[in-house]
Structures are given as C-alpha cells and as structure tokens.
C-alpha cells in the first residue's frame, strides 16, 4: 500500500482555555517519530507504546520547568520490559523500547507485566538537585498512568489524549489551573474542556494542527495560543561519554577486549552511532587520564 502523507512539523505548543480555567499543551511528533523508529523494526504494538511514551515525555517536559534532561522510563517483567524516552529542556528527544515477545493485548498489565514501574527522573544541567518519582504503572493505558502521576504529584486534575500512527505521534494535555478558593462551579470548566477534547478522534489529533483542533472543539470558549516550539530527534551521545564508559571499565578489561577483537566498538542504543577505539585510541585515552599514566601499576583503583 502506497500512501502519501504530508508531514506535519514537529512542535509543542502551549494554550489556555481561559473561560474553562484550563491550561493545555499540545505535541506533534512527525520526523522525530520517524527518526525514532528508523533504527529498530518495532512490531506495531511495541511501536504504539513507544510512541505514547514519546508523547507523554514530550508533554511532561513541556509542562514541568527544568533545565537539563527528563527521562521517562517503564520497567516491567512483561513482553515489553523496557521503555525509555529522554527529552532535554530545549526539545531534543531520543528513546527506545526492548521487548521479549510481541504483546497480544493492549492493556498495561498485558504489555508490561505485573508490578511494572513508571519512573520520571530529571537531571539538571547544573546546580539543581536531581528529581526522581516512581509510581506503579496502573490503568489501562500509558496516558492513564501519566494522568495518575500528575494528579498524585501535582494534585492537579489532568486529562491526556494520545494518538500514534506509523507517521505521527501526537498528544494533548489539559490541566485544571490552580485557582484559589475553587468552587464546584469552577470544576465545570475542566469537565467541559475534557468533554470537548474527547469530541475529536485519534485521526483528527494526528492530522490537524493545534489551531484547527482548538477551533473544532473550543470555538465557543476563550482560547489563547502561545508560540510553537520545535522538537527534534537528537541523541545526546558523544565520544566523551564513551571515553568515560571505557575508563569506568578499567584498563585491564579494555585491554582484554582489544586483544580479542583488535578494535572496540560501542554502539549507541538510541541512535545507532558507532564509536570505535583501536590500540592507539585506547592508549591515548588512558594515558591522558590521571591515575592511569602508569599502565603497569594495578595497585590502585582509578577514578
Ligand atoms: Zn546516540
């Protein structure tokens, strides 16, 4: 089957439903999503949860203020045992899924197994303390689990809608604005916003841009839309990091591998970039690192 699909741009965009006291966030991943899937031949059910994780992580990163890297991770004992998506504050994303078998059902329990955990971690570029929140992976879908995470950690009513296809992964988040002295009546704004969001289906979420979606659902509400920010697939791996990995292994182990294979090749799991080290590279690396200058001295552990 040949189909031509006009690629939407990769954006995340904030909006306000002022008359509902609701803030919103929209994300549309297109080339980012194609790039994320181009490295591995993901079976459709695995691609679906990975796409949802990309959307979830993108929405979380756009909603939480941080300067550094946010990681969304699911670990379980089920068919899909690992799901990782990372987003930097400026919208660079990478992610992967690992599976033992192709899940036949779509519920979280069937896909990730009993006792699976969702971890949200934030590593700040500098200064700020790292943050880590771990919750049991509960609910029918990843959007359910993320909603529960928001409602527990931020005590804010949250609604999420995700849609994933081969070409696109899109999502929308609605959150009740914290309003002092909120009354029952104010809650109606959030409920109305959710009911209207549910009026558009997955196809519309995938194909229409934010302005069009908002017009469809909220033409009777007061809406404010902020500038779109770009999002892209960009891996943060680099040679310095692989250097650190080899130094962490220690010279003896690295030498053992070199003797066996003549060359060490480390491939990034996220982007497939291969980093190669031969004898000359290894000597240069270890000789330039304090604690390793004397390569025959194995009396101490180098840090
Ligand atoms: Zn990489």
**Domains of the chain listed by start with CATH number:** 11-233 (3.55.30.10), 239-287 (3.90.1280.10)
pLDDT digits (tens, 9 = 90+) for 194-238: 999 999 899 999 999 999 999 999 999 999 999 999 999 999 899
Ligand 1 center–CA 11 separation, angstroms:
22
pLDDT for 106 equals 84
Ligand 1 center–CA 31 separation, angstroms:
17
The half-sphere exposure of 120 on its side-chain side, counting CA atoms within 13 A, is 22
pLDDT digits (tens, 9 = 90+) for 104-114: 988 898 899 99
pLDDT for 94 equals 96
Ligand 1 center–CA 53 separation, angstroms:
18
pLDDT for 3 equals 52
pLDDT for 303 equals 37
Q: With b meaning 16 or more CB within 10 Å and e meaning fewer, what string describes 270-301?
A: bbeeebebeeebbbebbeebeebeeeeeeeee
118 in Cβ contact with 53 (< 8 Å): no
173 in Cβ contact with 159 (< 8 Å): yes
Ligand 1 center–CA 281 separation, angstroms:
20
Ligand 1 center–CA 236 separation, angstroms:
6
Using alpha carbons, select from 274, 277, 250 the residue that is nearest to residue 263.
277
Ligand 1 center–CA 202 separation, angstroms:
31
The H-or-E segment that residue 100 falls in is none
pLDDT for 262 equals 86
pLDDT for 100 equals 95
Measured CA to CA, the distance from residue 282 to residue 189 in angstroms comes to: 62
Tens digit of pLDDT at every position of the chain (303 positions): 455 556 789 999 999 999 999 999 999 999 999 999 998 999 999 999 999 999 999 999 998 888 999 999 999 999 999 999 999 999 999 999 999 999 998 889 889 999 999 999 999 887 778 889 888 888 888 999 989 888 888 788 999 999 999 999 999 999 998 877 666 556 789 999 999 999 989 999 999 999 999 999 999 999 999 999 999 999 989 999 999 999 999 999 999 999 998 899 999 988 888 999 999 999 999 998 887 754 444 433 343
pTM of the model: 0.86
22 in Cβ contact with 171 (< 8 Å): no
pLDDT for 208 equals 93
Q: With b meaning 16 or more CB within 10 Å and e meaning fewer, what string describes 162-184?
A: bbbbebbbbbbbbbbbeeeeeee
Residues whose beta carbons lie less than 5 angstroms from ion ligand 1: 235, 237, 268, 270-271, 273
């Amino acid at each position: 089957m040949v189909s031509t699909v006009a690629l939407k741009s990769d954006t995340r965009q904030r909006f306000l439903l002022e008359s509902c006291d609701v803030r919103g966030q929209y994300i549309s991943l297109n080339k980012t999503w194609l790039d994320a899937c181009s490295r591995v031949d993901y079976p459709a059910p695995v691609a679906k949860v990975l796409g949802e994780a990309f959307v979830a992580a993108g929405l979380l990163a756009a909603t939480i203020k941080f300067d550094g890297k946010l990681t969304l991770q699911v670990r379980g004992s089920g068919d899909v045992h690992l799901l990782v998506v990372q987003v930097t504050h400026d919208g660079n994303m990478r992610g992967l899924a690992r599976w033992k078998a192709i899940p036949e059902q779509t519920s979280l329990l069937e896909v990730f197994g009993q006792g699976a955990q969702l971890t949200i971690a934030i590593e700040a570029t500098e200064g700020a303390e790292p943050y880590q929140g771990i919750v049991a992976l509960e609910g029918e879908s990843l959007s359910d689990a993320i909603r529960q995470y928001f409602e527990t950690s931020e005590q804010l009513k949250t609604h999420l809608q995700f849609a994933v296809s081969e070409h696109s992964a899109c999502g929308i988040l609605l959150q009740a604005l914290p309003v002092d002295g909120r009354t029952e009546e104010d809650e109606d704004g959030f409920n109305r916003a959710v009911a209207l969001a549910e009026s558009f289906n997955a196809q519309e979420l995938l194909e229409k841009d934010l302005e069009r979606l908002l017009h469809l659902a909220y033409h009777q509400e007061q809406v404010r839309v902020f500038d779109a920010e770009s999002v892209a697939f960009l891996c943060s791996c680099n040679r310095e990091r692989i250097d650190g990995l080899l130094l962490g292994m220690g010279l003896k182990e690295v030498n053992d591998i070199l003797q066996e294979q003549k060359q060490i090749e480390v491939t990034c799991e996220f982007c497939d970039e291969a980093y190669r080290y031969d004898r000359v590279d290894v000597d240069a690396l270890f000789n330039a690192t304090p604690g390793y200058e004397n390569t025959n001295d194995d009396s101490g552990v180098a840090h």
